[in-house]
Amino acid sequence: MFKRIPRLLLILLVFSSSAFADRQVTDQLNRTVTLPDHITRAVVLQHQTLNLLVQLDAMPQVVGVLSSWQKQLGPNYLRLAPSLAKMPMPGDLTAVNIESLLSLHPQVVFVANYAPADMIAQIEQVGIPVVAISLRREPADQAGKINPMLENEDQAYNLGLQDGIRLIGKVMGREAQAEAMVKDVFHQRALVANRLQDISEAQRVRVYMANPDLTTYGSGKYTGLMMQHAGAVNVAAKDIQGFKQVSIEDVLKWNPAVILVQERYPEVVQQILTSPQWQPIEAVKHRRVYLMPEYAKAWGYPMPEALALGELWMAKVLYPQRFHDIDLQQYVDSYYQRYYRASCCQTVK
């Protein structure tokens, strides 16, 4: 239950926030947000935004993060952002501890587009601006949904990712870095598209994304687009919308030729390979069950490295003969040095 903020404190907070606010941005819920000119204290309650802030070299401006960051970003992420080890955690994707948040004196709070309306209102009522990030460009009636209905998914995510990167860059004063990232990412994607352009729909590899507890991604999620750009077909897309739990009977019916598992769920690979109920599936028979590398973030929302590197990795796994001359490790190392200022993991073959 949210606690009431004393009226005098509320007035002081609102006054102190608005007194120094001199610019406005439009967030990805189409809300106009008034912000201070320079942000030096941001709280981030969405893991995609946190990941982007790390890449934009803006972590010195972050004073608090979501409590589930390690679960969402993976156990190895700390090496890319060591400051997370001691970072206060005043909330998560759908809840906030307002007293803990106030103690950090933030100038802005980033939230997910599906953060509850009362959570956003609670933060704004104490005078703290809230910027919502969806990484999608969509009709207004779909903007706050986890599983949106999108007429043109590819366009919605392509444009929405660009919008989101530029918005975060603008809020944090990292516009130049944001523009460079957008340019790099979509230039890299073109490499994959050029090599796969002659593969017909009937020739595309059938792929299933396996998450814990038989959950997967259907239509309306970036994961399916990631497969599409890598020359694959998401076998779940025709039957389910968004992120859903399915049955083993569904997977048997779809009979994918390849199964992919996100890097944050390595235990799922062994569960699939050893469980009797999975053995009739073509991908398991031929041992084509792959743990994705950390840069191939197959989330429901796109990430720059997933477009620039993850789609290339996936295409090389599915069509090795078309990418035999590509030194993937070289691409990965270059990206990580530029945007994470660190070395990446070993490339997953």
Q: Which domains does the chain have, with CATH numbers?
A: 7-185 (3.40.50.1980), 199-339 (3.40.50.1980)
Residue 9: is its pLDDT beyond 70? no
User: 201: how many CB neighbours lie within 10 A of its CB?
Assistant: 6
pLDDT exceeding 90 applies to what percent of the chain?
73
Q: Which band of pLDDT confidence, cut at 50, 70 and 90, is reported for residue 76?
A: confident
Question: b/e map of 105-142 (b: 16 or more CB within 10 Å)?
Answer: ebbbbbbbbbbeeebbebbbbbbbbbbbbbbbbbeeeb
Token pair 């019916």 is at which residue?
253
pLDDT digits (tens, 9 = 90+) for 257-280: 999 999 889 999 999 999 999 999
Whole-prediction pTM:
0.82
List, for residues 215-247, the tens digit of each pLDDT value: 999 988 888 889 999 999 999 999 998 899 999
* Interatomic CA distance for residues 36 and 32, integer angstroms: 13
Greater pLDDT, 137 or 345:
137
What is the chain's percent helix, strand, coil content, to nearest 5?
50, 15, 35
Q: How many separate helices (H) and strands (E) can be counted in the chain?
A: 14, 12
Distances (CA, A) of 20 to 13, 16, 93, 120, 283: 12, 7, 28, 21, 58
Phi, psi of 287, deg, nearest 5: 55, 40
**pLDDT at residue 337 is higher than 80:** yes
Question: DSSP 3-state assignment of 261?
Answer: strand
First-to-last CA distance in the chain?
48
Calpha distance 91→75 (Å, rounded):
19
Q: How is residue 264 annotated by DSSP?
A: T
Residue 77's region, left for phi above 0, alpha for psi from -120 to 50, else beta, is alpha
CA 236 to chain centre: 20
- Residue given tokens 């590819």 in the structure block: 154
For residue 18, is pLDDT > 50? no
Q: For position 345, what pLDDT does the model report?
A: 72
In single-letter form, the type of residue at position 318 comes to: L
| 168: Cα separation from own chain's centroid | 14
Q: At what angle do helices 311-318 and 175-196 cross, to 10 degrees?
A: 20
Residue spans of beta strands (DSSP E) within the chain: 21-26, 32-36, 42-45, 62-65, 108-112, 130-133, 205-210, 215-217, 232-234, 243-245, 258-261, 289-291
At 334, list the tokens.
Answer: 């270059």
pLDDT value at residue 146:
78
